């Protein structure tokens, strides 16, 4: 019998190629559910956020072994400033909690850290901490960890548009040359590969202003686990869901044939 490739409906295991068995290179996570995790235990939300830092450590440790090379996590959104002052102040203390515990290890293990979002608006000590994490890991290239902190997808797009407009007004940029590639170069995510997989634990099913531009062809996976309970098995399950998807990037699958469209 002549060999033939499987149609997408016949696949129990995804075939190689687009949508094939490879792991997502760039995974982005909305670390959600800290408050509910704490509430369920009768604890203050603060302790949920602290447990969230432990989940971040576990996830960063597990990601390279699962084939991930870029991991981007949502640590604080431009909208999170509207939370009660005491909670904002706890959230602002999380980078210190994380990097005090783990920066040496990240440095040693070849992880390059990059902070995404607006430095403006953050306290000088938080900016100094993010700068230090970037500086100390700048020579690393085994794994890339992006921490989105004071980040909003819309704010990032608006900031990029303003920078391009300023460059055009000063004659440094020809407006006619602005295309998707040039525009992406103005975002705080410039140089990163597009997100392959965006994961949101906690049962919520929305992006909440995370990576709006970069999510164009990302697969979205929503999981019921609350972020502080997230672990290697949770990430492996999200990746398995990704691997079962057919990624077509705007092309069309006509029976067995991938047609660019």
Rank residues 24 and 95 by Cβ distance to ligand FPP and give the closer one.
95
CA-closest candidate to residue 172, choices 184, 186, 157: 186
Pattern 208-227, ligand FPP, x by CB under 6 A: -------------------x
Considering only 29, 56, 62, 197, the residue that binds ligand FPP (CB under 6 A) is 56
Q: Rounded distance, CA 183 to CA 232, Å?
A: 35
Q: Rounded distance, CA 223 to CA 221, Å?
A: 7
The answer to whether 120 touches 156, Cβ cutoff 8 Å, is no
Shortest Å distance, C-beta 186 to ligand FPP: 23
- Give the residue numbers marked as catalytic: 32, 80
Question: Is 52 among the residues that bind ligand FPP (CB under 6 A)?
Answer: yes
Considering only 113, 147, 199, 221, the residue that binds ligand FPP (CB under 6 A) is 147
Vertex 187 angle, CA 182 and 192, to 5°: 85
Considering only 62, 94, 198, 225, the residue that binds ligand FPP (CB under 6 A) is 94
Rank residues 70 and 227 by Cβ distance to ligand FPP and give the closer one.
227
Question: Is 33 among the residues that bind ligand FPP (CB under 6 A)?
Answer: yes
Shortest Å distance, C-beta 102 to ligand FPP: 9
Give the CB-side neighbour count of residue 145, counting CA atoms within 13 A.
Answer: 29
Residue 15 has a CB neighbour count (10 Å cut-off) of: 16
Q: Which two tokens stand for residue 112?
A: 């390059």
Rank residues 19 and 153 by Cβ distance to ligand FPP and give the closer one.
153
């Amino acid at each position: 019998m002549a060999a033939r490739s499987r149609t997408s409906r016949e696949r129990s295991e995804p075939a190689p190629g687009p949508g094939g068995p490879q792991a997502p290179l760039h995974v982005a996570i909305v670390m959600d559910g800290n408050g509910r995790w704490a509430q369920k235990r009768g604890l203050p939300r603060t302790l949920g956020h602290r447990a969230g830092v432990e989940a971040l450590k576990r996830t960063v440790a597990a990601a390279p072994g699962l084939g991930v090379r870029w991991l981007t996590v949502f640590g604080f959104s431009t909208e999170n400033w509207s939370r009660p002052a005491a909670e904002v102040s706890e959230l602002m203390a999380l980078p210190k909690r994380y990097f005090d515990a783990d920066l040496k290890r990240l440095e040693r293990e070849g992880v390059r850290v990059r902070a995404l979002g607006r430095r403006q608006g953050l306290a000088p000590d938080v900016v100094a901490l993010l700068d230090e994490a970037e500086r100390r890991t700048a020579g690393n290239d085994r794994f890339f960890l992006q921490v989105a902190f004071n980040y909003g997808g819309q704010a990032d797009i608006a900031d990029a548009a303003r920078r391009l407009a300023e460059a055009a007004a000063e004659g440094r940029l020809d407006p006619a040359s602005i295309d998707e590639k040039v525009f992406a170069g103005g975002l705080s995510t410039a140089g990163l590969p597009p997100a392959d997989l965006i994961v949101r634990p906690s049962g919520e099913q929305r992006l909440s202003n995370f990576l709006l531009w970069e999510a164009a062809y990302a697969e979205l996976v929503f999981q019921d686990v609350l972020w502080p309970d997230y672990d290697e098995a949770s990430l492996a399950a999200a990746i398995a869901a990704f691997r079962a998807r057919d990624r077509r990037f705007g092309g069309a699958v006509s029976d067995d044939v991938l047609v660019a469209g």
